[in-house]
């Protein structure tokens, strides 16, 4: 077999290195034990494992996608128990490693389909990056604020490109959704423990500095997320994603499983006590009606929407339940004091930004971080909305670019699913994901959770997969044709 053959590279290199790395590990442990340094011994022993894992990832770079997805989902919850400095830097390193390994894999095996990385989301994300770089010349900008906003600037582009290059098979989507469902169940269980058993020591310490979760109207549970609004929106997304998927999946046990996950997620959404989270399944169902083109699905979804609206807006059923009572106030926003305060804050910001079409500068909104960077008018007023945050920091021009990037991608994805996808199972699962993303983005008007972990990566990853849905549909239909031909 020729040394340049792909199979040789895939199979022989790891086997040859395995014995060498194993020997190095044993030798290192021996040296460490001689010098009575256990920490050094553990470090050296881990080196072969890290090398083998790196080689494995180099062979199958798709593993990186699952690593990123997993770290993204749990990283903020871990920081509540372990003091990790520079979380964004950790994710930056992970992204950089993924990009390097993709280039190395492509150089060795030449099987990376780079054309997949060109879609409406990556193109518009690149335009957003260029605009944000130009924000450096904004007269009121502060470089530190710009630097600390790099996640907002470039993460969307990185995730959409990585997903395009690494998620190239339908089975990868299926695996991602299974993992997503398991993570959702873990998040729900954590919230249930908080409600029925209580908060642990670290959560109680965290709550001392937080005044938005222990309210007279009821406790807002947050699981291991950054806060209740982030948790509620993500559970609403998972509820609509797996609820819609359950009606299209072919495997019976998976159909039942996804339906159970959906119900648990919606229950957890109510546990969050986040009124804005209600819009996630509602907006998701509305988009589903437009995409489905199925009379039964349209009638069912439409009836569900009407029932939800009538139940919460025109009845007092379940008013004795804290969760239902709090969610019901979302249907009468003008009677809510916090809503009126937000509208007044937006009015003040509008007056200030009237002659600032490019905003105050990245990182200089009142989201908590801005006050630490520079004490000024915009950092003294809480934005309480992702839209308002973008508006304050990048101006009307930046807001139009960012909203255009997301809504055009969602619109394009909806058109692809409605008219271009033939396989019903693929269409159902991706429709569920797109509807969940749409619901979260609409909900982001009332809460500034869109840019937090794990929301942004879930959204950009899902959008990218939807925009590349035609590749997966062709794969499925080609496989079906091959099977039928063989018969």
Does one domain contain both 213 and 330?
A: yes
Give mean pLDDT, residues 117-137. Answer: 95
Indicate the pLDDT class of residue 428, thresholds 50, 70 and 90: very high
Q: Residue 370 domain-assigned?
A: yes
Categorize the per-residue pLDDT at 5 as very low, low, confident or very high, splitting at 50, 70 and 90: very low
- pLDDT of 439 higher than 90: yes
Task: Give the Cα separation of 43 and 23 in Å (integer).
Answer: 15
The answer to whether the CB of 25 falls within 8 A of the CB of 48 is yes
28 shares its domain with 148: no
User: What gap in Å lies between CA 212 and CA 266, rounded to an integer?
Assistant: 21
Query: Which pLDDT band, with edges at 50, 70 and 90, does 314 fall under?
Result: confident
- Residue-wise pLDDT for 37-57, tens only, equals 555 555 666 666 666 666 667
Residues 412 and 459 in one domain: yes
As to burial, measured by CB atoms within 10 angstroms (0-12 exposed, 13-18 middle, 19+ buried), residue 17 is middle
What are the beta bridge partners of residue 214?
Answer: 219
Distance, in Å, from the CA atom of 243 to the CA atom of 278, rounded to the nearest integer, reads 15
Domain count, the chain: 2
Q: Cα–Cα distance between 297 and 290 in angstroms, integer?
A: 10
In the listed set 40, 59, 78, which residue is the last one of a domain according to the structure? 59
- 49: its two tokens: 């494992």
* CA proximity to 136, closest of 153, 122, 155: 153
Residue 433: its pLDDT value, please?
Answer: 97
Q: Is residue 1 part of a domain?
A: no
Q: Tell me, yes or no, whether 323 and 422 share the same domain.
A: yes
Domain boundary at 59, 78, 93, which? 59
43 and 76 in a single domain? The answer is: no
Q: What is the pTM of this model?
A: 0.87
Q: Is 332 exposed, middle or buried (0-12, 13-18, 19+ CB in 10 A)?
A: exposed
Q: Which domain holds residue 281?
A: 66-486
What's the rounded Cα separation, in Å, for the pair 407 and 395?
Answer: 18
Output the pLDDT for position 308.
Answer: 85
Same domain, 158 and 44: no
Count CB-CB contacts under 10 A for residue 36.
8
Q: What is the C-alpha to C-alpha distance for residues 66 and 109, in angstroms, rounded to an integer? A: 21
Residue 275 lies in a domain: yes
115 secondary structure, DSSP code: G
Residue with tokens 């937090």: 452
Amino acid 38: pLDDT: 53
The continuous run of DSSP H or E covering 70 comes out as: helix 62-79
pLDDT band at 11 (very low <50, low <70, confident <90, very high): very low
Sort residue 457 into left (φ over 0), alpha (ψ -120 to 50) or beta: alpha
CB 428, CB 245: distance < 8 Å: yes
99, part of any domain: yes
Same-domain status, 363 and 399:
yes
Residues belonging to the chain: 487
User: 74 with 117, same domain?
Assistant: yes
Q: Is the pLDDT of residue 107 over 90?
A: no
How many other β-carbons are positioned within 10 Å of the β-carbon of residue 230? 25
Residue 485 has pLDDT above 50, yes or no: yes
Bridge partners for 382 per DSSP:
366
**Highest mean pLDDT (candidates 73-87, 304-318, 423-437):** 423-437
Judge if 40 and 127 occupy the same domain.
Answer: no
Rg (CA), the chain: 24
- Helix or strand (DSSP H, E) at 214: strand 214-215
Q: What is the pLDDT of residues 258-299, one digit of tens each?
A: 999 999 999 999 999 888 889 999 999 999 999 988 788 888
Say which residue the tokens 């692809």 belong to: 416
Q: Is residue 91 part of a domain?
A: yes
Residue 183 lies in a domain: yes
Residue-wise over 181-219: b if at least 16 C-beta within 10 A, else e?
bebbbebbebbbebeeeebeeebeebeeeeeebeeeeeb
- Are 167 and 218 found together in one domain? yes
3-class secondary structure, 219:
strand
Domain assignment present for 35: yes
Q: What span, in angstroms and rounded, lies between the C-alpha atoms of 128 and 257?
A: 39
Query: Which residue in 192, 280, 194, 189 sits closest to 230, CA to CA?
Result: 280
Mean pLDDT across 438-442: 95
Instruction: Decide: helix, strand or coil at residue 66.
Output: helix
Q: Nearest 5°: CA angle at 442, between 440 and 444? A: 70
Give residue 176's pLDDT band: very low, low, confident or very high (50, 70, 90). Answer: very high
* Residue 53 sits in the same domain as residue 81: no
**Is 105 found in the same domain as 12?**
no
Contacts of 28 (CB under 8 A, 6+ apart): 41, 44, 45, 47
């Amino acid at each position: 077999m020729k040394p340049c053959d792909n199979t040789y590279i895939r199979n022989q290199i790891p086997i040859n290195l395995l014995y060498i790395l194993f020997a190095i590990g044993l030798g290192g442990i021996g040296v460490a034990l001689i010098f009575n340094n256990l920490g050094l011994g553990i470090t050296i022993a881990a080196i072969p494992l890290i090398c083998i894992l790196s080689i494995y990832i180099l062979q199958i770079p798709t593993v990186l996608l699952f690593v990123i997805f997993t770290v993204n989902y749990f990283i903020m919850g871990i920081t509540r128990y372990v003091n990790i400095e520079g979380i964004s830097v950790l994710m930056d390193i992970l992204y950089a490693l993924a990009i390097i390994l993709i280039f190395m894999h492509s150089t060795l095996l030449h099987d990376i389909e780079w054309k997949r990385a060109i879609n409406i989301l990556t193109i518009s994300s690149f335009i957003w990056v260029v605009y944000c770089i130009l924000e450096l010349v904004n007269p009121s900008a502060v470089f530190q604020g710009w630097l600390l906003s790099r996640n907002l600037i470039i993460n969307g582009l990185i995730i959409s490109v990585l997903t395009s290059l690494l998620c190239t098979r339908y089975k990868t989507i299926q695996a991602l959704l299974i993992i997503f469902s398991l993570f959702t169940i873990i998040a729900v269980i954590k919230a249930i423990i908080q409600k029925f058993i209580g908060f642990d020591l670290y959560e109680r310490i965290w709550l001392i500095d937080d005044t938005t979760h222990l309210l007279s109207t009821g406790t807002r549970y947050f699981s291991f997320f950054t806060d209740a609004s982030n948790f509620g929106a993500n559970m609403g997304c998972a509820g609509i994603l797996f609820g819609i998927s359950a009606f299209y999946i072919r495997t019976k046990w998976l159909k039942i499983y996804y339906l159970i996950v959906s119900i648990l997620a919606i229950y957890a959404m109510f546990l969050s006590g986040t009124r804005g989270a209600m819009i996630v399944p509602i907006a998701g169902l509305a988009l589903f009606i437009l995409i489905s083109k199925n009379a039964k699905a349209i009638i069912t979804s439409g009836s569900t929407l009407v029932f939800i609206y009538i139940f919460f807006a025109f009845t007092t059923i379940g008013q004795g339940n804290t969760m239902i009572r709090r969610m019901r106030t979302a249907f009468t926003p003008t009677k809510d004091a916090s809503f009126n305060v937000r509208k007044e804050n937006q009015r003040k910001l509008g007056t200030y930004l009237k002659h600032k079409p490019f905003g105050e500068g990245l990182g200089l909104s009142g989201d908590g971080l801005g006050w630490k960077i520079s004490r000024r008018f915009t950092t003294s007023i809480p934005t309480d909305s992702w839209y308002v945050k973008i508006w304050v920091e990048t101006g009307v021009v930046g807001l139009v670019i960012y909203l255009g990037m997301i809504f055009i991608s969602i619109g394009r994805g909806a058109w692809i699913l409605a008219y271009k996808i033939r396989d019903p199972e693929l269409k159902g699962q991706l429709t569920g994901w797109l509807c969940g993303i749409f619901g979260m983005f609409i909900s982001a008007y009332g809460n500034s959770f869109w840019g937090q972990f794990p929301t942004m990566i879930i959204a950009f990853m899902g959008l990218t997969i939807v925009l590349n849905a035609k590749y997966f549909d062709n794969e499925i239909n080609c496989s079906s044709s091959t099977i039928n031909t063989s018969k």
